[in-house]
Amino acid sequence: VEYKAVNLSSLEKLASEKGITEFNLEVFMDNGLTSRNDLVKILGRGELKSKITVSAHGFSKAALSAIEAQGGACTKI
């Protein structure tokens, strides 16, 4: 399975600049991070300072830990 990688740094940038706290496939597409048919995996590169909720096809252990450490939630779809 080939995933489209989205790093925590990208999520943090959207959270701080646009105030987005709920991330799902539609949000990723609307902000140019993925295409319609991509399988999305969240990777732990970058620093996360915001409490966010993320729905994606996969999560690295580092990303999962970072999101949960900020009080956020991860949903695998």
State mean pLDDT over 14-27: 96
Is the predicted pLDDT of residue 26 greater than 90, yes or no?
yes
Max CA distance (Å), the chain: 32
Is the predicted pLDDT of residue 66 greater than 90, yes or no?
yes
Q: What is the pTM of this model?
A: 0.93
State mean pLDDT over 6-16: 96
Query: Tell me: the pLDDT tens digits for 28-60?
Result: 999 999 999 999 999 999 999 999 999 999 999
Q: Is 53 in contact with 22 (CB distance < 8 Å)?
A: yes
d(CA 74, CA 41): 11
Coil, helix or strand for 61?
helix
d(CA 24, CA 26): 5
The reported pLDDT for the residue numbered 1 is: 85
Q: Is 42 in contact with 56 (CB distance < 8 Å)?
A: yes
